[in-house]
């Protein structure tokens, strides 16, 4: 790679688009010169593609540049220490999606801490969802937000619609440990449960996906075929599935914990503050203000820098990046949240 010619073409639109061959033969140690070159690529990547760059003042930008590219160890440095060094510089950005990591190895998150939460049931290997009825109450578990067209959603909309044909007093939506993905199915869930989603953006744009990219990024990125047709970029929205008119539940209990992040949290925000919705559990992960992360492979270390290319202009009451969305009913991480809903809430109705 010619570092002087580093451009947006080197930033993949999804970590899944990185070829495994590009990640092989990473060095265990970096020389001072190699450190310098990789830090320069980190800086260029952030300036070209990272959505958070636009929110720094000129003073902050200049200070960041100077500290990043000048903080070079005079001797060789091991890759994990170098990874942590990069992450420490990126703390200036309040963004939980910003991560430096080694493929199939260690990760150096910039902000994410080790949350203590009780894991809910293991992910369903076949589907992104499951639906059971307990005491005449539907319990819809969403394990992940797989791509909208994925087979993991087979029969999902029809099953939920059929469940909502009958009048439902209570409905439980279990979003625990859902780390996110494609937000479009979350939108369908919101539409079925409450109709119009709750507003959490300032002046929502006509096209939320495209307008939330910075002009600095879009003026170059839209020229790239990979960006336009990449697996995770949602510039091409499927037409909304026509939903059968159904009864809306009188009360919706949303179960959540720190494992709920990104698109999972966007779904929570769209339900939050609706008069029929209550959030139960612990704070979510706090990783949704930024999103749609691109990826850059550093040439010597083979570290992957994940760069969110979108920022959402949130209302003040919806700004919970880093801290997470708080529940209406707080439940200890030692308790099972679903059991709490039945024993402490539904049994007293």
3-state secondary structure 96-132: CCCEEEECCCCEEECCCCCCCCCCCCCCCCCCCEEEE
Does the predicted model carry a pTM greater than 0.95?
Answer: no
Q: What is the total residue count of the chain?
A: 349
Q: Are 307 and 194 in contact (CB under 8 A)?
A: no
CA 235 vs CA 163, 181, 279: distances in Å: 32, 15, 31
Q: Are 221 and 142 in contact (CB under 8 A)?
A: no
CA proximity to 199, closest of 330, 325, 313, 321 = 313
pLDDT for the residue numbered 204:
52
Question: Can you read off the two tokens belonging to residue 152?
Answer: 């993991």
Give me the average pLDDT of each 10-residue run along the chain (349 residues). 52 71 86 95 91 92 92 93 94 91 83 52 74 94 92 92 87 95 92 89 52 49 39 36 69 96 94 96 93 88 91 87 95 94 87
Q: Are strands 137-142 and 170-174 parallel, antiparallel or unpaired?
A: parallel
Is 264 buried (19+), middle (13-18) or exposed (0-12) by CB count in 10 A? buried
30 Cβ contact list (under 8 Å, min separation 6): 38, 76, 77, 79, 82, 300, 301
pLDDT for the residue numbered 165:
82
Q: Is 58 helix (H, G, I), strand (E, B) or coil?
A: helix
pLDDT for the residue numbered 238:
37
CA proximity to 191, closest of 133, 150, 151, 241 = 241
CA proximity to 291, closest of 153, 199, 182 = 182
**pLDDT digits over 125-175, tens only?**
689 999 999 999 999 999 999 988 899 999 999 999 889 887 789 999 999
CA proximity to 327, closest of 276, 288, 277 = 277
- % of the chain beyond a pLDDT of 70: 79
User: Per DSSP, which regions of the chain are E strands?
Assistant: 29-30, 77-78, 99-102, 107-109, 129-134, 137-142, 170-174, 251-256, 277-281, 290-297, 303-311, 329-330
| Cα–Cα distance measured from residue 311 to residue 274, given in angstroms and rounded to the nearest whole number | 24
């Amino acid at each position: 790679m010619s570092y002087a010619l580093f451009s947006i073409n080197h930033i993949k639109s999804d970590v899944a688009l990185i070829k495994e061959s590009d990640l092989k033969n990473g060095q265990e140690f970096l020389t001072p010169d190699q450190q310098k070159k990789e830090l320069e690529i980190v800086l260029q990547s952030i300036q070209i593609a990272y959505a958070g760059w636009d929110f720094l003042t000129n003073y902050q930008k200049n200070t960041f540049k100077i500290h990043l590219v000048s903080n070079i160890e005079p001797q060789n440095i091991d890759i994990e220490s170098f990874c942590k060094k990069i992450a420490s510089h990126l703390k200036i950005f309040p963004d939980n999606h910003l991560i430096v990591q080694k493929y199939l190895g260690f990760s150096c998150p910039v902000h994410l801490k080790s949350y203590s939460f009780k894991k809910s049931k293991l992910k369903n290997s076949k589907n992104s969802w499951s639906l059971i009825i307990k005491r005449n109450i539907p319990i819809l578990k969403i394990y992940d937000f797989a791509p909208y067209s994925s087979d993991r959603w087979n029969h999902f909309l029809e099953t939920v619609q059929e469940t909502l044909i009958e009048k439902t007093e209570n409905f439980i939506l279990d979003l625990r440990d859902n780390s996110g993905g494609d937000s479009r199915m979350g939108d369908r869930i919101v539409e079925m449960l409450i109709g119009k989603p709750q507003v959490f953006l300032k002046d929502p744009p006509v096209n939320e996906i495209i307008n939330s990219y910075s002009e600095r990024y879009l003026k170059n990125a839209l020229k790239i075929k990979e960006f336009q047709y990449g697996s995770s970029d949602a510039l091409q929205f499927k037409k909304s599935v026509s939903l059968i008119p159904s009864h809306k539940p009188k009360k919706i209990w949303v179960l959540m914990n720190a494992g709920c992040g990104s698109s999972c949290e966007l779904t929570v925000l769209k339900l939050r503050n609706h008069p029929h919705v209550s959030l139960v559990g612990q704070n979510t992960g706090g990783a949704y203000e930024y999103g749609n992360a691109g990826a850059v492979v550093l040439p010597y270390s083979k570290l992957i820098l994940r760069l969110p290319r979108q920022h959402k202009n949130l209302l003040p009451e919806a700004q919970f990046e880093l801290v997470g969305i708080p529940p209406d009913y707080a439940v200890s991480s030692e308790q099972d949240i679903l059991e709490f809903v039945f024993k402490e809430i539904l049994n007293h109705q």
